[in-house]
Structure 1
Amino acid sequence: MKNLIIIIITFLISIAGFSQNKFGNPEVDPIQIQQKYADWWPYQSKKIMLSRDFTALDADSKEISKESFLNELVNTNYIPIRLESNDSIIYYKLFKILPKADTSIKATINQEAFDAYKNFKMEGTPFPKFSFTDLDGNLVSNETMKGKIIVIKCWYIHCAACIKEFPEVNALAAKYKDRKDIVFLSLAEDTPEQLKTFLARKPLSYSVIPNMKIYMNETLQLNAFPTHFILNKEGVIAKVLPNYKSLEVALEKESKL
């Protein structure tokens, strides 16, 4: 009987190990990484993009929906860790936050996941109808943009994170400059006068729409900046993204569809 129990326990351990290794091992130690916020944040900010397409795994390495994965991060005590993988599929797995972990980690994860969940729920819905005039006097509307992929950057002059990514988004616009079916727009809170003065010092290679504060706050209900949208050629929101890094990955995928 004792030998039978040992055999059963060994079998269960091997099954648990297979469930983990089937998708790959964690690329960092899930326990060690959550000891200090200063150690965890560089990993989180560089390796975890909750806005991207990924295969979501729960704490038992079972596949779950992205919506369920984000819900767990918002409402419970988990951190996401990427698993090592040789294929092109990205695997994120939930790991329990330990009682002695830095409390700032949980707070930051909850907020990032809340924003990611809100953005995720917008994807697949039609972008609100619009008719804007940019700083050069050009009319920009759903009708004039029909049949094009539209990349939209939402920002304002005093948003440091928005300005910091100007070189990267300008390079992205340059990369796709020969794609006549891809348009780069930006919605800014500020007045035309403020924007013209600011952009003379820090150019942005997007068509810039001024006075968009009410539209972004009330129609789009944004609470984080920058926020990027990718609209497909049918005017449906394909992706909502928090930064240039996520935007670059998503646009490369959308541009090939």
Structure 2
Amino acid sequence: MKKITFILFLFFWICSFGQTKSAITPESIQTSFTVWLDYQEKNIILSSDFVALDENSNEITKEVFLNQLAKGEYFPFEIKSVNEINYYQLIKIDPNSDSSIKASIAEKAIEELDHYKMEGTPFPEFNFKDLNGNNITNETFKNKIVVIKCWYIHCPLCIKEFPFVNKLASQYKDRNDIIFISLAEDTPEQLKKFLAKKPLAYAVVPNMKKYMNETLHLNAFPTHFILNKKGEIAKVLLDYKGLELALKKESQK
């Protein structure tokens, strides 16, 4: 009797699992803004090196893909993932769906498009001192892969990712050609007090608000940069989710 009960339980669990997976359709993720946001957070990383497909499943460039999203007529839908490469397709937004979905997609696409256009350009001139008094310049970056985290103390998302970025820095601690630097808006006094309670395994450069706003033109935090050994921007990411994969790719070149 127990065996039959277990088999029935296993059967219904498998069926339930299959229904949950199949329930993720272009229609289902447009039922509300909350549902869409959850899907986007879990499945879509526009900063990654994905394969872009138009609405007819033809491959297009990432720039064209982002431009189409920026118009507010499409949303990105994950088709599959192969060898850490995602396949995203343009899907027409249902005109009856929550207007917030359309607005959020367009806003994010415009931001990601700006970041994508920064790839391959030299990182702006840099000459500042970190909290330990070490001078950091563009020469410091020479022949190094550089991971830069831009943040400030009162940014909840910036702080929430501390454990992840600390772990990432630890993974590459034996790589002399990879360095981790953070640019913070706050004063040295504020940072020292804060970091005593919440350590960050990056070199921390204080008083960077003007540089980040006027030179890097940032309007979202946290923002991460990965620079290649030529001092060029290899990748710009809005959170840590794509950071590990992007750094792994750059570190293997």
Settle same-fold status: TM greater than 0.5: yes
Q: What is residue 181 of structure 2 aligned with on the other side?
A: 185
Q: Deviations over 1:193-224 (max 9, x none)?
A: 01001111111000000000010000000111
Structure 1 ranges of 4+ moved more than 6 A: none
**Corresponding residue number in structure 2 for 1:157:** 153
**TM-score (ref. length: structure 1):** 0.87
Instruction: Write the mapping of 1:89-168 to structure 2, written as runs, cut at 5 A.
Output: 89-168=85-164
Letter in 1 for 2:112: A
- Identity percentage over the alignment? 62
SS of the residue aligned with 1:229? strand
Answer whether contact 1:125 1:237 (CA < 8 A) is retained.
Answer: yes
For the structure 1 residues 81 and 236, does the alpha-carbon distance in structure 2 shift closer, same or farther, using more than 3 Å as the test? same
Q: Distance in 1 between matches of 2:43 and 2:23?
A: 10
CA contact (8 A) 2:147 2:226 kept: yes
Give 2:16's aligned residue. Answer: none
- What is the rounded CA distance, in whole Å, between the counterparts of 1:177 and 1:213 in structure 2? 28
Change in Cα spacing, 1:234 to 1:88, as seen in structure 2 (3 Å) is same
TM-fit CA distance, 1:100: 1.1
How much has 1:248 moved relative to structure 2? 1.1
Partner of 1:48: 44
Matches of 1:86 and 1:200 in 2, distance apart?
42
Q: Offset at 1:145?
A: 2.5
Q: Evaluate the alpha carbon distance shift between residue 92 and residue 134 of structure 1 in structure 2; reply closer, same or farther with a 3 A threshold.
A: same
Counterpart Cα distance in 2 of 1:36 and 1:211: 41
Calculate the aligned-residue CA RMSD, in Å: 1.3
TM-score between the two structures when normalised by the length of structure 2: 0.89
In structure 2, the gaps of 5 or more residues are: 1-21
For the residues of structure 2 that align with 1:86 and 1:188, how far apart are their CA atoms?
Answer: 37
1:187 CA displacement: 0.3
Aligned to 1:229: 225
Residues 1:196 and 2:192 aligned together: yes
| CA distances 1:167-214 after superposition (whole Å, capped 9, x unpaired) | 100000001101110000000001000100111111100000000001
Q: 1:76 offset after TM fit, Å?
A: 3.1
78-87 vs 160-169, greater mean Cα deviation? 78-87
Asked if 2 retains the 8 angstrom alpha-carbon contact of 1:27 and 1:81, the reply is no
The structure 2 residue matched to 1:253, chosen from 241, 249, 252, is: 249
Quote the residue 2:166 is aligned against: 170
Of 35, 53, 56 in structure 2, the residue corresponding to residue 60 of structure 1 is: 56
Per-residue CA deviations over 1:84-114 (Å, capped at 9, x if unaligned) read 2555532100000001111111111111111
SS at match of 1:154: strand
Retained in 2: the 8 A contact 1:56–1:93? Answer: yes
**Number of equivalences:** 232
Partner Cα distance (1:153, 1:107) in 2: 27
CA distance in 2, matches of 1:29, 1:162: 32
Separation (CA, whole Å) in 2 of partners of 1:200 and 1:187: 17
Which residue number in structure 2 is paired with residue 244 of structure 1? 240
- Please give the secondary structure, in 2, of the residue aligned with 1:84: strand
Following the alignment from structure 1 to structure 2, what is the Cα–Cα distance between the partners of residues 33 and 71?
22
**Which secondary structure state, in structure 1, belongs to the residue aligned with residue 101 of structure 2?**
helix
CA–CA distance in 2 between the matches of 1:27 and 1:222? 37
2:93 pairs with 1:74: no
Deviation of residue 39 (structure 1)? 1.6
What residue is the counterpart of 2:215 in the other structure? 219
What is the deviation of 1:27? 8.9
Partner of 2:204: 208
Structure 1 unaligned segments of length 5 or more: list them: 1-25
Aligned amino acid, residue 193 of structure 1: E
